[in-house]
Structure formats: C-alpha cells, structure tokens
C-alpha cells in the first residue's frame, strides 16, 4: 500500500538554511502562482467589474481587518449557572457550524506547560543542523524532521520545516523518533500529549452533545480508546519575499480534530470565511481548535472542516504545534446514522483514515479537494 512513498523525489533543502543564508530573493520552487499568493483577493478575482460590486468588495476587505475567530471560555461549561453552561455550548455549536474554527481559553492545560513545550521546540529548531539531521524523515511514515509534504517531483514547496511524531496508538509511539535534545524534551513532549489528549476527549463530548448525539458518540466512532494522536511542530523561518510564498498552502486538516498552539506574538494563520482570508489573532495560552475532515464526514457536513493556510513574514520566525486527534486508522468513517434522514441523505461514502491520509501524503496540501472527492454520487 505504501508503494511510491519510500523516498523524497528530490534532495531535501531545509528552509531554515535558506533563510539563515541571508538570500534576498527566494528560489523559484517556493514562488506560488499569483492566485495563491497572500495578497490575492478572491472577491476581486471572482467579481464582475460593476461599480456597486467593487464598493461591496472594499467594505468586506475593511471589515476583515478586525475579524477574528470566536474565543470561547471553557470554564463556562462548569458554571453553576445553567444559562452560562447553555450559552457556552451554543457558542461552540455556532463556531463548529459557521467557522469550523474557534479558540479556547481556560481549557485546563497549565500555561506553564504550554510555554515549556513551545520553548523546547524553539530550542530544537535552533540546534546545529547535524543534530536535527539525525531525525531526517522520509515519506514512508513522515516521522521526524521534514521540509516538505507530498512527493510530487517538481512541486512548488511551502516556506517551512517541521517535526512530526506519534503519541497514539501506543504501538506507534517510538521515543527513538522523538528528539533527544534539548535535555528533558521527551518528558515535556509526553506530558503535553497526555494533557492535550484529555482536552480533546472533553471537546469531543461537547461536540457530540451539540450534534444531538450521545456524549460518547464521536469518541466511540473514532475507535474508543484506540484513537490516533500525532503532532506536527511547524517552523516558519523569516522570509525575504513573504508576498510571493506561503508557510503552509491552503488545506483542510485530514484528521478528526486539531488543537493548534501557536506563539501568540506572531500572526500567520489565516482561515477561510466565505471568499476571504481572516487572520487569526491568537489569545495568550489559547488553543485554536478546528474541525478536521473526519468530523465533517461523521457529522454529515453539519460541522465544516475549513480551509486554512499560513503566511510568513520577513521580520520574525514563527513556531506552532499542531496536535491531531484522529480516528483509529482502520475503521470506516461515515456519516452518523442518527444524522442521516430522507431530507438529509448521507453525503459521504465510508473510508478508513489510513486510506484517506494517503492522499495528502502523496499530493501535499490541496485545499478541500479530498473531502469533496468522497461525496457519494446521488
């Protein structure tokens, strides 16, 4: 099944080494076509030239500057006041339907642990190249230190390096594939994973109830105790020509649910809302939660897995930790029977996550084309 995924099609270049070399222009392989560049406006690109429409376009562009994804205080779920609990549930529900994204604060994971984890990874990416090279990854499993996603020869690449590792299932957790430096990093990475797994379990219960399903529905659909959990730490070096490239191309996350912890001092993540890109302004110590393709399928598209991308800048590097909470890899994922009615027939055909994720591993990030291709032919 993994044929064709054994090796990279071209020698790997670390984006960090390009950035550190002080070049003033980026190599052609990182230059995106004009329609994918950060400043391309979808609204202008797709609208006609009538003057009333162009003033509408300006209004939208202006409103976007202050827009942000919803920020939800999770302590509201434990409030003594029933109305506060209900309102918190409602906000989560609305965010899952309208945005596919929200931030959570007061989520129960200690801010010190979040800071320590980010600091560990900052130090890792600043180790000498030969230390990092010990963990160079291959497209066979993607575990380790990497600089591209997808194995298409000649593909246009993103301006980022990353580190990918598995937490669950236990059989895939391999400390030898985790970095050994900086000192004690494995303990911190482990503790971070344990805490985030617990938070993901809590969030899945909220999502299940909001869909009108039993509290344990999504967790059980993911395989109960046998879920998958992995992390990609993204490193976006400074870029001399940020207007020509992206740190991460537009994609929707293939898995179940993602909890992203970015450095909150540097922005970069953009979320698609209708035809524009909203720049996320992270709250300190907040997780950014987003619905992945598997929950879009299980919820029969009541919840949306929304496209997002990362822009880079010339002044500051940026680190983010993306924690992916996924279904067990070999069980078929399909719309919940409870959500399928004559009026809302099943929109997707069943597929295991193992089969599903091969697509992004071969072709790299490609917007939402994959979940669209699962649509059942009715």
State the alpha helices, DSSP H only, in 126-222: 129-133, 185-210, 217-221
The entry of ligand OGA, Ni ion, none near residue 268 (CB within 5 to 8 angstroms by kind) is ligand OGA
State the alpha helices, DSSP H only, in 47-184: 51-64, 82-98, 111-125, 129-133
Does 117 contact ligand OGA by CB under 6 A?
A: no
- As measured in angstroms, the least distance from the Cβ of 112 to Ni ion is 26
> What are the distances in angstroms from CA 247 to CA 69, 88, 148, 318?
20, 33, 11, 10
The entry of Ni ion, ligand OGA, none near residue 365 (CB within 5 to 8 angstroms by kind) is none
Interface residue with ligand OGA, options 107, 308, 328, 357 (CB under 6 A): 308
Nearest in space to 289 (alpha carbons), one of 202, 178, 190 = 202
Number of residues that bind ligand OGA (CB under 6 A): 12
- As measured in angstroms, the least distance from the Cβ of 69 to ligand OGA is 12
Does 262 contact ligand OGA by CB under 6 A?
A: yes
Residues that bind Ni ion (CB under 5 A): 253
- As measured in angstroms, the least distance from the Cβ of 68 to Ni ion is 18
Which CB atom, from 116 or from 148, has the smaller least distance to Ni ion?
148
Which CB atom, from 195 or from 253, has the smaller least distance to ligand OGA?
253
Compute the distance between CA of residue 267 and CA of residue 47 in angstroms, rounded to an integer: 28
Residue 191, burial from CB neighbour count under 10 angstroms (0-12, 13-18, 19+): middle
Interface residue with ligand OGA, options 213, 230, 322, 339 (CB under 6 A): 322
Compute the distance between CA of residue 371 and CA of residue 330 in angstroms, rounded to an integer: 18
The residues that bridge with 326 in the sheet, in sequence order, are 228
Residue 308, burial from CB neighbour count under 10 angstroms (0-12, 13-18, 19+): buried
Interface residue with ligand OGA, options 208, 210, 294, 320 (CB under 6 A): 320
The stretch near ligand OGA (CB under 6 A) out of 25-33, 84-92, 261-269, 296-304 is 261-269
- As measured in angstroms, the least distance from the Cβ of 286 to ligand OGA is 13
What SS3 class is residue 109?
Answer: coil
- As measured in angstroms, the least distance from the Cβ of 258 to ligand OGA is 6
- As measured in angstroms, the least distance from the Cβ of 287 to Ni ion is 13
- As measured in angstroms, the least distance from the Cβ of 306 to ligand OGA is 11
Compute the distance between CA of residue 298 and CA of residue 337 in angstroms, rounded to an integer: 9
- Helix, strand, coil share of the chain (percent; to 5): 35, 20, 45
Which CB atom, from 227 or from 248, has the smaller least distance to ligand OGA?
248
Which CB atom, from 90 or from 126, has the smaller least distance to ligand OGA?
126
What SS3 class is residue 141?
Answer: coil
Nearest in space to 282 (alpha carbons), one of 109, 102, 95, 90 = 102
Residue 189, number of CB atoms within 10 A of its CB: 23
- As measured in angstroms, the least distance from the Cβ of 43 to Ni ion is 23
- As measured in angstroms, the least distance from the Cβ of 161 to Ni ion is 16
Omega before residue 182 within 30° of 0, cis: yes
Nearest in space to 227 (alpha carbons), one of 86, 104, 323 = 323
**x-marked contacts with ligand OGA along 198-237 as a string, rule CB under 6 A:** ----------------------------------x-x---
Is residue 334 within 8 A of residue 367, CB to CB? The reply is no
CB-closest chain residue to Ni ion: 253
The entry of ligand OGA, Ni ion, none near residue 234 (CB within 5 to 8 angstroms by kind) is ligand OGA
Q: Look at the block and give the residue holding tokens 């529900």.
A: 93
Interface residue with ligand OGA, options 228, 254, 268, 335 (CB under 6 A): 268
- Interacting residues toward ligand OGA by CB under 6 A: 232, 234, 248, 253, 260, 262, 268-269, 308, 310, 320, 322
């Amino acid at each position: 099944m993994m044929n064709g995924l054994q090796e990279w099609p071209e020698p790997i270049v670390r984006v960090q080494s390009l950035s550190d070399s002080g070049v003033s222009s980026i190599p052609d392989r990182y230059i995106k076509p004009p329609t994918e560049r950060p400043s391309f406006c979808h609204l202008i690109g797709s609208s006609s030239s009538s003057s009333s429409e162009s003033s509408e376009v300006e209004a939208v562009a202006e409103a976007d500057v202050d827009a942000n994804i919803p920020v939800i205080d999770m302590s509201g779920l434990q409030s003594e006041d029933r109305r506060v609990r209900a309102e918190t549930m409602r906000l989560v529900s609305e965010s899952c339907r309208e945005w596919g994204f929200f931030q959570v604060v007061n989520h129960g994971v200690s801010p010190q642990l979040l800071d320590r984890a980010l600091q560990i990874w900052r130090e890792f990416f600043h180790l000498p190249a030969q230390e990092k090279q010990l963990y160079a990854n291959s497209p066979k499993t993607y575990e380790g230190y990497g600089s591209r996603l997808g194995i298409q020869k000649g593909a246009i690449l993103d301006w980022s390096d990353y580190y990918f590792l598995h937490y669950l299932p236990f059989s895939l957790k391999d400390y030898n594939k985790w970095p050994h430096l900086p000192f004690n990093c494995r303990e911190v990475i482990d503790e971070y994973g344990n805490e985030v797994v617990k938070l993901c379990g809590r969030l899945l219960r909220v999502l299940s109830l909001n869909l009108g399903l039993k509290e344990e529905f999504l967790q059980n659909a993911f395989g109960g105790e046998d879920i998958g959990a992995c992390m990609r730490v993204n490193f976006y070096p400074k870029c001399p020509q940020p207007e020509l490239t992206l740190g991460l191309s537009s994609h929707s996350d293939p898995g179940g649910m993602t909890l992203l912890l970015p450095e909150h001092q540097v922005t970069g993540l953009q979320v698609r809302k209708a035809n524009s890109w909203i720049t996320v302004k992270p709250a300190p110590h907040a997780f950014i939660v987003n619905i992945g393709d598997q929950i879009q399928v299980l919820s029969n598209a009541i919840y949306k897995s929304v496209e997002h991308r990362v822009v880079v800048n010339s002044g500051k590097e940026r680190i983010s930790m993306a924690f992916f909470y996924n279904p067990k890899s070999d069980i078929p994922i399909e719309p919940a029977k409870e959500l399928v009615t004559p009026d809302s027939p099943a929109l997707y055909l069943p597929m295991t996550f193992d089969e599903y994720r091969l697509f992004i591993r071969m072709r790299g990030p490609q917007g939402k084309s994959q979940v669209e291709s699962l649509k059942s032919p009715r």
